[in-house]
Amino acid sequence: MFDSVLVANRGEIAVRVFRTLRRLGIRSVAVHTDADASARHVREADEALRIPSYLDIEAVIAAARSAGAAAVHPGYGFLAENTAFARACGEAGLVFIGPPAEAIDAMGDKIRAKQTVAAAGVPVVPGRDEAGLSDAELKAAALEVGLPVLLKPSAGGGGKGMRLVREAAELPEAIASARREALGSFGDDTLLAERFVENPRHIEIQVFADAHGGAVHLGERECSLQRRHQKIIEEAPSPLLDAAARARMGAAAVAAAQAVGYVGAGTVEYIVSADRPDEFFFMEMNTRLQVEHPVTELVTGLDLVELQLQVASGEPLPFTQDDVRLDGHSVEARVYAEDPARGFLPTGGRVLTLTEPETARVDSGLDTGTEVGGSYDPMLAKVIVHGADRAEALRRLDRALASYTLLGVPTNVAFLRALLRHPAVVSGDLDTGLVERALDELVAGTSVPPEVFAAAALERMLALESGDDPWDVPDGWRPGAHAWTPWIITPSGGEPVEVRVQGRAASARVAINGDPPVAASLTRPFTLTYGGRTTSFEAARDGHTLWLGRGGHAWALSEHVRAEGGAAAAAAGDSVLRSPMPGTVLAVKASEGDSVAEGQPLVVVEAMKMEHTVTAPLAGVVAKLPVRAGAQVALDAVLAVIEEPR
């Protein structure tokens, strides 16, 4: 076994690998960029070294040699499936804790991978996967395969660059867009076309192989709950499969791994039609540890990182296929810095308050004070539970998410709770399109309830009250009664709401948007009584914004500033376009003074390798265009102002 291991990664996966290294008594070495100098993974390592980028192979190798590390664990993402990095480790005398470079190379190219596993007898999705197809040839291939068709990058994964096309007229733009995103994400714009399986379920098999010919599978994970081809909730085992189907898919996965001389942890991903569960097709093999590996750990009782270390150090697998048992059910939810109500666009900010559930395993790289920006993947943490059966596991995950509070960065936690309660999820009737179909229903419950507005207004009252003198009540005391104090509260991404308060925070009446007054009171720590119901919140203030959290929900509420005078009136018919996410301006497609049509693209913003095109909501003239290509913009920053013709 190794005495020192460098983890060439950051965030929650680095922290998770360190946990196993500590338990085994192995010295841990971290690397970090300037932006991550104070990150949690840096503090939890025995030693940490600065590098200019997590993608800088030479710098990572130099850091490992400088620290005296014997091996390098790549985590996932960044250099985890980079053939050049695996080879560079070997050339530097370092053990790469992953498969041989040749196996990464074979499975990293989706075209070659499909051909390899098909030759080994593994079923593959019908399609066209010749290398070097031109746009015209790719369009013809897509029509030959038959619509709907899925365009996929040959290199890389994680859903980036994938496009589902249902109409022939959509193909040219879909091909161009997929190539652009694939090139930006993986440095390779090669695409393949394959049949889109209707009502598809995403089921993957965890495999492990050693250098002595031993190879096993550890059962499956169901990963059908996705948005934008990115997983949200994963579970093990799948509610779809029986023991016989599991054995068939597992044997095929092992055959796929053995076909490329695989060693280490890998995942063979299948697509299975919910309508025909006996059929399964190979999609790809991920030649690394998966994000969702904890659910396999909880149902098998195995530490997959420890197994990786054992196999990489030359030891044989300590068990055979007959020894693998699945116990109970495990479910994992990914906490993302994103806004489901705004199309899952990335968010950002500084973590003001963080409370993690004590009833679940939480893999996280977060701490209070962590800055979440647009440079890396938006996944922040994973919440994982185990139950005797699926129903118990789902209940436990819902309760764990209810006690998860992160203030300062908008997340998807409330959305996750709504998804877990959806009837199709409860019954196990899953497919990869479920989230998209049910999105409006799932985000409907994310509107701000009235008691949250009341709490925000009373918090302002409480802050301004300085004692028992009635004259200290802001804007409000006169002989015989307190007058009404108006507050304008604006939730993030929402419309201003008028909240009128009469009395002091400890005993008041509150009227919201002209509704009848409700008796209310607020005391510290943040406990609100509203309409006879008492509720406690977690609270944090960041300048003019108050953050409140409860039951997995988090609300950012700001004091609204009203526009005054003629300027506001003159702008009544104008439209202000704001950035839907913090990121970088990739392109500006208009100039001030240009006449634009409704729906015309104006600005392209990119964050976390996701592009979003902001279009004109009305026909008019570009009055203001304060951004330029390459500029960094914050969430809700003004990108353009369109004036209607007068």
Of these ranges, 193-202, 371-380, 422-431, the one predicted with the greatest mean pLDDT is 422-431
Q: Going by DSSP bridges, is the β-strand pair 575-578/583-588 parallel, antiparallel, or unpaired?
A: unpaired
Q: Which residue has the higher pLDDT, 298 or 616?
A: 298
Tell me whether residue 528 is exposed, middle or buried, using C-beta atoms within 10 angstroms of its C-beta: 0 to 12, 13 to 18, 19 or more.
buried
Least-confidence region, from 68-72, 184-188, 440-444, 507-511: 184-188
| 3-state SS, residue 590 | coil
Give DSSP secondary structure letters for 477-540.
EETTEEPEEEEEEEETTS--EEEEEEEETTEEEEEETTPPPEEEEEETTTEEEETTEEEE-EEE
Q: Going by DSSP bridges, is the β-strand pair 477-478/481-482 parallel, antiparallel, or unpaired?
A: antiparallel
Task: Give the tens place of pLDDT for each residue, 577-594.
Answer: 888 777 789 889 999 989
Q: Return the H-helix or E-strand segment holding 381.
A: strand 379-387
Asked whether the predicted pLDDT for residue 525 surpasses 60, the reply is yes
* Structure-token pair, residue 269: 């991903």
Least-confidence region, from 156-170, 472-486, 563-577: 563-577
> For the residues 225-243, what does the mean pLDDT come to?
94
Buried-exposed string 165-187: b where 16+ CB fall within 10 A, e elsewhere: beeeeebeebbeebbebbeebbe
Residue 516, Cβ neighbours under 10 Å: how many? 7
Q: Which domains does the chain have, with CATH numbers?
A: 4-97 (3.40.50.20), 126-195 (3.30.1490.20), 200-446 (3.30.470.20), 450-559 (3.30.700.40), 566-643 (2.40.50.100)
What is the C-alpha separation between 129 and 145, in angstroms, rounded? 11
Q: Which residue has the higher pLDDT, 88 or 560?
A: 88
Query: What's the per-residue H, E or C state across 431-445?
Result: CCCHHHHCHHHHHHH
What is the C-alpha separation between 44 and 365, in angstroms, rounded? 10
- CA-wise closest residue to 217 among 233, 206, 227: 206
Buried-exposed string 111-135: b where 16+ CB fall within 10 A, e elsewhere: bbbbebbeeeebbbbebbbeeebee
What is the C-alpha separation between 292 and 158, in angstroms, rounded? 13
401 within 8 A of 552, measured Cβ to Cβ: yes
What is the C-alpha separation between 241 and 220, in angstroms, rounded? 9
Task: Give the tens place of pLDDT for each residue, 382-426.
Answer: 999 999 999 999 999 999 999 999 999 999 999 999 999 999 999
Per-residue confidence (pLDDT) for residue 67, from 0 to 100: 98
Give DSSP secondary structure letters for 130-178.
-TT--HHHHHHHHHHH-SSEEEEESS--TTTT-EEE-SGGGHHHHHHHH
349: left (phi over 0), alpha (psi -120 to 50) or beta: left
Per-residue confidence (pLDDT) for residue 466, from 0 to 100: 58
Helix 171-186 × helix 135-145 angle, to 10°: 110
Task: Give the tens place of pLDDT for each residue, 244-294.
Answer: 999 999 999 999 999 999 999 999 999 998 888 888 999 999 999 999 999
71 within 8 A of 397, measured Cβ to Cβ: no
Give DSSP secondary structure letters for 538-572.
EEEEETTEEEEEETTEEEEEEE-----HHHHHHTT
Nearest-5° angle of CA 266, CA 269, CA 273? 160
**pLDDT class of 454 with cuts at 50, 70, 90:** very high
- The answer to whether the peptide bond before residue 123 is cis (omega within 30 degrees of 0) is no
Per-residue confidence (pLDDT) for residue 390, from 0 to 100: 98
Please give the mean pLDDT across all residues of the chain: 91
Instruction: Tell me what percent of the residues of the chain surpass a pLDDT of 70.
Output: 94
Number of H helices, E strands in the chain: 18, 42
Per-residue confidence (pLDDT) for residue 10, from 0 to 100: 97
Task: Give the tens place of pLDDT for each residue, 635-646.
Answer: 777 899 998 876
Q: Which residue has the higher pLDDT, 375 or 120?
A: 120
543: left (phi over 0), alpha (psi -120 to 50) or beta: left
Nearest-5° angle of CA 558, CA 560, CA 561? 135
Residue 586, Cβ neighbours under 10 Å: how many? 16
Which residue pairs from 465-471 have beta carbons closer than 8 angstroms and sit at least 24 positions apart in sequence? 465/504, 465/505
- CA-wise closest residue to 177 among 210, 135, 227: 135
Residue 85's Cα: distance from chain center in Å? 26
Residues 6 or more apart whose Cβ sits within 8 Å of residue 175 = 135, 138, 139, 151, 163, 191
Q: Going by DSSP bridges, is the β-strand pair 27-32/47-50 parallel, antiparallel, or unpaired?
A: parallel
Asked whether the predicted pLDDT for residue 569 surpasses 60, the reply is no
What is the C-alpha separation between 208 and 254, in angstroms, rounded? 8
What is the C-alpha separation between 436 and 469, in angstroms, rounded? 55
> For the residues 523-548, what does the mean pLDDT come to?
94
Handedness of CA 534, 540, 545, 549 (dihedral sign): negative
Q: Which residue has the higher pLDDT, 525 or 389?
A: 389
What is the C-alpha separation between 296 and 274, in angstroms, rounded? 22
What is the C-alpha separation between 500 and 484, in angstroms, rounded? 6
Handedness of CA 350, 356, 361, 367 (dihedral sign): positive
Distances (CA, A) of 329 to 265, 319, 427, 545: 21, 22, 14, 41
Instruction: Tell me what percent of the residues of the chain surpass a pLDDT of 90.
Output: 73
Asked whether the predicted pLDDT for residue 353 surpasses 80, the reply is yes
* 71-73, strands of its sheet edge to edge: 47-50, 27-32, 4-7, 71-73, 95-96
Asked whether the predicted pLDDT for residue 15 surpasses 80, the reply is yes
Residue 392's Cα: distance from chain center in Å? 25
Per-residue confidence (pLDDT) for residue 111, from 0 to 100: 81
128 within 8 A of 145, measured Cβ to Cβ: yes
Least-confidence region, from 371-375, 411-415, 574-578, 628-632: 574-578
